Amino acid sequence: MVVVMEINSNTQQIEAVNSKLAQLGYKTQVIHGVKRIVIGAVGDRRSNDLMELQLMPGVEKIVPIMKPYKLVSREAKEDNTVINVGSATIGGENLTIIAGPCAVENRQQFLAAADQVKHAGGQIIRGGAFKPRTSPYSFQGLELEGLEILREASQATGLPVVTEVIDEVSLQMALDYVDMVQVGARNMQNFRLLKAVGQTDKPVLLKRGMSATIEEWLMAAEYIISEGNGRVILCERGIRTFETATRNTLDLSAVPLVKRLSHLPVIVDPSHGTGDRGLVRPMSMAAVAAGADGLILEMHPEPAKALSDGPQSLTPGELEQVMMQLSMLIPAVGRQLPPAYVS
């Protein structure tokens, strides 16, 4: 349930209600909305509890939440959550572009890519230091060296960086080097990892699992938020279906649906969603038209030489073309141009 506080409720009243909920055995989280503050409470609800809470000073009403995901639901928070990631924001009026190579391969490659992302107008740089691969013989990432390169790229460009973490060890390693951590599709239901990232103060980019339903995806976000970290960004990256013409089936219907069900920002990954660089541009446009708050795009200085995901990686010139076309679409869907956009 959520306890909706009156608009003019004060700090003491909010703390008193929060403390009372804790005494009654509820796990609580104070959620700051644009218009008012609500307190999300998860636990076994009893009728006597509701009556007692309703009479407390500052309480406007108590709203039961019937969905299994409580804290991520629109019932818990009506207005959209906006998340700061370094100098960038995700979920606001601007369309946020995250771009960069799939993997940090070496210092020269990644610093060049970071510079190209900034020139094209991207706001966040992506790059994998830890690479969970289907084959044990494929490139697994540079790990600590990769994290050091990510931090150097951030310092050189002034842009925040994101990397995927694959377990609790890699998470602890990454915290001092990156601005946002990513939980990949393979780990969407790694509940120990979800709890671990939920206990940090880093924004979390949560990718949808390869065969996950919308409810399972939102429940994964609930794991993170229930641990105290409300800075979760959802990422639709395609799901596995019977279709083999594309790497995955990009489920763009998930964007408006999830935005109806949840207050969390939603971005789209058309690179993994299609596996084909020729489809990245049109699916980027479609994702923005569907209401996505941002895109995460793979771009490599030389895709033919990429150690992973070369076929779906844009060239620097192609990234600039995507940004140019997005600049024409953004006003039509009520968004603003990225502040760093270079025409």
Average pLDDT rounded to a whole number, residues 212-235: 97
What six digits make up the tokens of 13?
Answer: 């009243």
- For residues 29 and 39, is the Cβ–Cβ distance under 8 A? yes
303 phi and psi angles, rounded to 5 deg: -55, -30
Average pLDDT rounded to a whole number, residues 92-115: 96
- Calpha distance 272→239 (Å, rounded): 10
Higher pLDDT, 36 or 91: 91
- For residues 208 and 236, is the Cβ–Cβ distance under 8 A? yes
Q: Which stretch of 28-37, 42-51, 118-127, 226-235 has the lowest confidence by average pLDDT?
A: 42-51
pLDDT at 133: 73
Please, what are the domains in the chain? 2-63 (3.30.70.1140), 83-333 (3.20.20.70)
Average pLDDT rounded to a whole number, residues 221-226: 96
- Calpha distance 293→265 (Å, rounded): 6
- Calpha distance 63→196 (Å, rounded): 29
What CA–CA distances, in Å, run from 53 to 4, 48, 63, 78, 270? 11, 9, 12, 21, 46
pLDDT at 161: 98
- Calpha distance 282→287 (Å, rounded): 9
Q: Which stretch of 174-188, 258-272, 325-339 has the lowest confidence by average pLDDT?
A: 325-339
pLDDT at 342: 42
pLDDT at 343: 43
pLDDT at 240: 95
3-state secondary structure of 159: coil
The answer to whether the Cα torsion of 115, 84, 66, 261 is positive or negative is: negative
pLDDT of 32 > 90? The answer is no
Average pLDDT rounded to a whole number, residues 121-149: 89
pLDDT of 47 > 70? The answer is no
pLDDT at 248: 95
- Calpha distance 76→71 (Å, rounded): 6
Q: Which stretch of 14-18, 24-28, 80-84 has the lowest confidence by average pLDDT?
A: 24-28
Helix boundaries (H) for the chain = 11-23, 47-54, 107-120, 144-157, 168-174, 191-198, 214-226, 254-261, 270-274, 277-289, 316-329
Q: What is the 3-state composition of the chain as percent helix, strand, coil, each rounded to the nearest 5?
A: 40, 20, 40
Spatial neighbors of 118 by CB under 8 A, at least 6 apart, are 125, 157, 158, 159, 340
Higher pLDDT, 31 or 243: 243
Average pLDDT rounded to a whole number, residues 95-105: 96
Higher pLDDT, 132 or 311: 311
- Calpha distance 190→207 (Å, rounded): 12
